[in-house]
Structure 1
């Protein structure tokens, strides 16, 4: 368990490249007057997520997010104690990652975009917490239904192979994120987080408006996990 926990911590920290890519891509999109740069964000997600999943799945399960750890605990794939260690490691990894980002990001950009953290505009100009909750719930459920259903099915995993399963998971995450930023299209919301730990890092380091609606990035995905778990109980034995 300790080795797997360390893997989760290191993997979450090393996804600094993912976090940094997403942060700079989001800032570039906001600064640009064209729509095309938004396609850089999903592209970055699917490429980097795929390789990180490919590396970490055999070592720890490749969670790198409290969402996947929580659903794994609900499904009985890991124990509650292991889940607690995983989530703690993921949160620490996020903080370390954003410490790195904070040290290299331009101070003006850091102030203007709140360190590229998960934001919900509290001035009434962007998306409301209720709508953000609906998006977080919906996008997380999509990832669970498309990706986790396959990942937790041992027979299908064996048939498809590790590379294909990782590709499906990365693709589901990319689809959910792209849908969320396409539907909103507003400043003050950077798209579905799909990872509460990622949102926690910049909130702790920067604070301020990042705490407004922060609960959405935890409650939305966790409620989606509970609903998905209830859905899997209705499936025939061997399909989940």
Structure 2
């Protein structure tokens, strides 16, 4: 369990570093419409990290997947708690790296990943209501598509570990890219880089930058966890 938790910590830190840096670069590029670039970056990076970590720790790297795995009884509450702690520490480490290597002006413009919620009427963000709806609906889409495939024990036995890793990585990464693309298309604000699908994504920036990033920060936690609960209630009534 501890080795798996260490994998989650390192993987989450590197995921936050590479994914957020890529998203900032896409948003700061001269491309007229960077939305497709952001979605493509999310797909490629998420796919590679999932392929590397699914056999080692389950490839969670997100409180969302850890929480739903715990609800479904695939991991214990103790393991889930350690995973969540590791992911939080990994998020902080990843954004510390970004803070050190990125141009400060660029990093500040996109608030280290675009986690701004319009709690004070700022024009560079989205409203709490919009962000909450996006977090809930997009997280539910990722769970409905990715978890339904990835947590299918019968299919895992039939296909084997190698094939399952590829299928899960592709499906989950694709669902995440679709969710980010939809949310960025809906909002189109520099201070908001789409749904987080992972509370840890915005925890690091909030702790490091503070200020406006704490306004409405609860949305990045409540929306995904509510989606997990609703998806779990739906999944237990699904036919086997």
The TM-score, its normalising length taken from structure 2, stands at: 0.92
Cα offset for 1:21?
1.1
Distance 2:106 2:122 in 1: 22
Q: Which residue is equivalent to 1:10?
A: 10
Which residue in the other structure is 1:69 paired with?
A: 66
Show the counterpart of 1:150.
Answer: 149
For these two proteins, the number of residue pairs brought into alignment is 233
> Which segments of 5 or more consecutive residues in structure 1 lack a partner in the other structure?
none
Q: Which moved more, 1:41-50 or 1:158-167?
A: 158-167
Shift of 1:10: 0.9
Which residue of structure 2 lines up, in the alignment, with residue 21 of structure 1? 22
Q: Which residue of 1 aligns with 2:232?
A: 229
1:176 corresponds to: 179
Residue in structure 2 matching 1:209, options 212, 216, 220: 212
- Which of 170, 174, 181 aligns to 1:167? It is 170
Tell me how far apart the structure 2 counterparts of residues 178 and 208 of structure 1 sit (CA, whole Å): 27
Question: How has the CA–CA distance of structure 1 residues 102 and 124 changed in structure 2, closer, same or farther, with 3 Å as cutoff?
Answer: closer
For residues 177-236 of structure 1, what are the alpha-carbon distances to aligned partners after superposition, in whole Å with 9 as ceiling and x for unaligned?
111111222343211010110110010000111111100000000000000000011112
Alpha-carbon distance in structure 2 between the residues aligned to 1:171 and 1:84: 27
Select between 59-68 and 180-189 the one with higher mean Cα deviation. Answer: 180-189
The structural deviation recorded for 1:123 is 1.7
Shift of 1:159: 4.3
- Report deviation, 1:107: 1.8
Query: How many angstroms does 1:116 deviate by?
Result: 2.6
Secondary structure (helix, strand or coil) at the match of 1:119 reads: coil
1:9 Cα deviation after fit: 0.5
Report the CA distance between 1:124 and its aligned residue.
5.0
With normalisation by structure 1, the TM-score equals: 0.92
After TM superposition, give the deviation of residue 23 of structure 1 in Å.
2.5
Deviation of 1:111 after TM superposition, in Å, equals 2.8
Against the structure 1 CA distance between its residues 111 and 189, is the aligned structure 2 distance closer, same or farther, given a 3 Å change threshold?
Answer: closer
The answer to whether residue 103 in structure 2 is matched with residue 102 in structure 1 is no
Tell me the alpha carbon deviations over residues 81-110 of structure 1, each in whole angstroms, 9 at most, x when there is no partner: 100000000010010011000001112223
Cα distance, 1:33 vs. partner?
Answer: 6.9
1:123 to 121, 124, 145: 121
The ranges of structure 1 where at least 4 consecutive aligned residues each deviate by more than 4 angstroms after the TM superposition are none
Deviates more, 1:172-181 or 1:139-148: 172-181
> CA contact under 8 A between 1:117 and 1:203: conserved in structure 2?
no
Structure 1 equivalent of residue 136 of structure 2: 137
Q: 2:50 aligns with which of 33, 48, 53?
A: 53
* Cα distance in 1 between the residues matched to 2:31 and 2:238: 47
Cα root mean square deviation, aligned? 1.5
Paired residue secondary structure (1:76): coil
